Chains A and B, each alone.
Chain A
Amino acid sequence: AQKVTQAQTEISVVEKEDVTLDCVYETRDTTYYLFWYKQPPSGELVFLIRRNSFDEQNEISGRYSWNFQKSTSSFNFTITASQVVDSAVYFCALSAPMDSSYKLIFGSGTRLLVRP
């Protein structure tokens, strides 16, 4: 069975602090994709990153960085020098290419509040 766990329900930080959102996944597939989506107050999910299971390189995009570790089945997301505009709900998700439905399995989300 596939499962994604985001243990942090809500995180509150002060602007300019660094914050890490945790994501742990379970799958028996050897080939899979991992995703992070952002849901701002407007409601629409915004794609942030996709990582395939064969690429364990960490990725950095501006203030965002992702740490993928197959050994611990984790795909954590760090925001450096957080800003108020980062306040949103963040979802981690998993998909398996062998599943022809292309469906995503989502975690329960982490609500991030960045205070001025």
Chain B
Amino acid sequence: DVKVTQSSRYLVKRTGEKVFLECVQDMDHENMFWYRQDPGLGLRLIYFSYDVKMKEKGDIPEGYSVSREKKERFSLILESASTNQTSMYLCASVHRSSTYEQYFGPGTRLTVT
């Protein structure tokens, strides 16, 4: 079974802190994604990566950056956390030759105070 893991289920940070959210997948998937989920808005794409060291902005990249140094690991970085970044963050991956089914991690609920 494909497994996508995220470093924390719950995280509480202070405004202005630098925050790292880690995502690891074990199925050699090329493409990886970071979404944030907010009530009434569904999942919105922050950034995605289609290869090591490659990244593309999604729909809401402001305030975030990403890093992909290894194929299995995709990190989301909040350079200076703000209260409006309090949200659920979901990581996903997909194999490029598949029929687009994305596999999701359990999510990280981040609270910025």
List chain A positions with a Cβ less than 8 A from chain B. 4, 6, 9, 33, 35, 37, 42-45, 47, 50, 52, 91, 95, 97, 100-104, 106-109
Min C-beta distance of B94 to chain A, whole Å:
5
Contact between chains at A44 and B48 (CB < 8 Å): no
Chain A interface, >50% SS class? loop
Contact between chains at A103 and B90 (CB < 8 Å): no
Contact between chains at A91 and B100 (CB < 8 Å): no
Indicate which residue in B48, B56, B58, B104 contacts A45 across the interface (CB closer than 8 Å).
B104
Given contacts A4-B42, A43-B107, A101-B50, 15 further A-B contacts (CB under 8 A): A33-B100, A35-B101, A37-B104, A43-B109, A44-B105, A45-B90, A47-B103, A95-B100, A101-B31, A102-B31, A104-B43, A104-B102, A107-B42, A108-B41, A109-B42
| Known contacts A43-B88, A52-B99; is-contact A102 B42 (Cβ 8 Å) | no
| Known contacts A43-B88, A45-B90; is-contact A102 B100 (Cβ 8 Å) | yes
